[in-house]
Structure 1
């Protein structure tokens, strides 16, 4: 009889311990706690895109159980170099055309995860208040690299100020590809980083969004903001070999969340949203 009582008592204790364990697990799940998924290191260029990672992406990943380290870079070479050698897990700073050209030229295999809202190029002026006021013979500073110049020329074409040769290669395009120049604009190609300063010395300046923000310019002060194709929007990029990893799926889920879009609407005004966010 004593042995039977001891056996029944032992069974009761085991059942109670199991029940307590299950209750603790359920409580942890209900409170939003997540399993520790390890550390993710994400690289981004200093300024709006490192801010986007820390303000709009990092919190969501941490809620999922990741520890997130954000590494800031001051050029467009190191983020991909670091990704290729495994120093970081993902980066955010580049558009599709740059990614593909860099990967090909440096023997890397890179893939995009998701396109993010991107600061558009804008045409700024301290002389004119609207595109309609632009005078004949006005001088406009434009980027001297083909990729950004193509964007500037497209903006001017959309405004009806020029036409561009339809067969122009966006990787080698120059002002010589302008076929019709309605206002006889004078093009002054300069380094993209110098374009914000050029606003004070020329009539117009086509400034890429990241350099405008770095110079503390208000995107909404532009006479015109580009209608940016998604190929020119920045994206989260990883090594192609990691595409099937869980962290890639989790990054994509965070960017596609309502919480991410809310931060964009509140703190990144003027950023153009990609097509997937508008559908």
Structure 2
């Protein structure tokens, strides 16, 4: 995730991105014309392929608004320019709310593309050589995910006392392969597969680079707090629109599209049962 920018500047961008000067809608209580926001890529696709058809069957007219960063979708939602968004996990949402004095609500967690360890140098984890280089995200939230994969695979141990929102490679206390960490911007990690021995690539960036999630040496065992969540304004979390959104995501039709179109996406606990 990118670090949060100045909210005033981003607000202007959000309004421009929405392409609308209309006042906030009531999220379906008096109108079934709705706007759903997502970052361009797999979650915009998930909206269009797995969620919008179900909403249309319930009588909604849906417009998808695509955003190019991780700031504008929440600003647009808070301002009423869109009615729900899908692009962020719970940890990011809660931190964004706190830093920007917003009151948003995650409705339901959806299948999410996992971060993976990718390599053009090694065919398996056991082939990793001592002193190998590994590119990891340079932001704490995604760095925590990368380090958790390495810890799950028995390659490192991380200080258990460190806050996930402040973690970095400096908090590794055991490094069995003497891995050399190269923190870089998350969006550059697919390219780092070429320049490093290993690269920990978030699923959305892997898909944007047309990488196959199943080519990873290891995929993260993703806790639900790192899976993306359909989000609305807190004042609308009990609305008919919100209830309809949840019903669509919980439907067999939604899961069928996920299984066919989003291979490799990790399912949340409620869906994996």
TM-score greater than 0.5 by the shorter chain: yes
- Verify: 1:185 aligned to 2:179, yes or no: yes
- Verify: 1:194 aligned to 2:185, yes or no: no
Residue correspondence of structure 1 range 246-257 to structure 2 within 5 A: 246-257=240-251
Q: Give the deviation of 1:202 after TM superposition.
A: 0.6
- Verify: 1:262 aligned to 2:256, yes or no: yes
- Verify: 1:217 aligned to 2:211, yes or no: yes
- Unaligned segments of structure 1, at least 5 residues: 1-35
Match of 2:82 in 1: 88
What does the per-residue CA deviation read over 1:78-135, in whole Å, with 9 as the maximum and x for residues that have no partner?
A: 0000000000000000000000010111111011110000000000000000111000
Match of 1:110 in 2: 104
Secondary structure, aligned partner of 2:101: coil
Q: Aligned match of 1:207 in 201, 204, 213?
A: 201
Match of 1:72 in 2: 66
Which protein shows a greater Rg? 1
Indicate conservation of the 8 Å contact 1:37/1:65, yes or no.
no
Q: Aligned match of 2:169 in 166, 172, 175?
A: 175
Match of 2:131 in 1: 137
Residue correspondence of structure 1 range 220-235 to structure 2 within 5 A: 220-235=214-229
Match of 2:270 in 1: 276
CA distance in structure 1 between the partners assigned to 2:270 and 2:222 by the alignment: 14
Match of 2:35 in 1: 41
CA distance in structure 2 between the partners assigned to 1:78 and 1:64 by the alignment: 28
CA distance in structure 2 between the partners assigned to 1:87 and 1:205 by the alignment: 37
What does the per-residue CA deviation read over 1:196-253, in whole Å, with 9 as the maximum and x for residues that have no partner?
A: 0000011000000000000000000000000000000000000000011100000000
CA distance in structure 1 between the partners assigned to 2:190 and 2:146 by the alignment: 14
CA distance in structure 2 between the partners assigned to 1:103 and 1:180 by the alignment: 34
Q: Give the deviation of 1:172 after TM superposition.
A: 0.5
Q: Give the deviation of 1:169 after TM superposition.
A: 0.8
TM-score by length of 1: 0.87
Match of 1:4 in 2: none
Match of 1:18 in 2: none
Q: Aligned match of 2:231 in 210, 234, 237?
A: 237
What does the per-residue CA deviation read over 1:130-177, in whole Å, with 9 as the maximum and x for residues that have no partner?
A: 111000000000000000000000000011000001101100001111
Which runs of at least 4 in structure 1 moved beyond 3 Å after TM superposition?
Answer: none
Secondary structure, aligned partner of 1:270: coil
Q: Give the deviation of 1:37 after TM superposition.
A: 5.5
- Unaligned segments of structure 2, at least 5 residues: 1-29
Indicate conservation of the 8 Å contact 1:142/1:190, yes or no.
yes
CA distance in structure 2 between the partners assigned to 1:102 and 1:37 by the alignment: 29
Secondary structure, aligned partner of 1:92: strand
- Verify: 1:149 aligned to 2:143, yes or no: yes
